[in-house]
Amino acid sequence: MIDRSYLPFQSARDYQDPGMQKWMGFYLSEHSSSLREEKNREDISISLSMEEKVLLVRQLYTNAFPATFVFKFSNQRKVVSGTIKEIGKEFISIKSETSFLRLRREDILDIQIEGEELHES
């Protein structure tokens, strides 16, 4: 217990600190908002290793097969379908029906050849 005998008022000397009770409202609101953020967070885990990505990209480029690419963009999962038109050291270029897209290899999360079922995680 804290010695408050030096204080001039009796009410201040007898004050009992509620301890964690005064922080409970703050804790609950922080916990609730954290749970809300976790619920809205998208899973952007990688299902392919770098070796698998490189091998699959080269096969798709060589054979000009259309594929569906799942990639990370601004910490969200995006999906685009198209064919690979160019392979660089760090980037690949994909031609979709509406545009060209340049992706970094490490941003590619999953690749599915057209006609195969897309993995949803």
Reported as a single tens digit per residue, the pLDDT across 5-50 is 888 888 888 877 766 665 656 666 777 777 777 766 655 556 778 8
Q: In whole angstroms, what is the distance from residue 11 CA to residue 13 CA? A: 5
Q: In whole angstroms, what is the distance from residue 95 CA to residue 3 CA? A: 75
Which structure tokens are listed for 104? 């970094």
- 91 has pLDDT over 60: yes
SS3 49: coil
For the chain, the structural domain boundaries read 50-113
- Average pLDDT, rounded, for the chain: 79
pLDDT at 18: 67
In 1-121, DSSP assigns E strands to 67-73, 76-87, 91-95, 100-104, 108-113
User: ∠ at Cα 69 (64, 74), nearest 5°?
Assistant: 140
The domain over range 50-113 is classified in CATH as 2.30.30.100: yes
- Is 86:93 a contact under the CB 8 Å cutoff? yes
Overall average pLDDT of the 78-97 stretch: 90
pTM more than 0.75: no
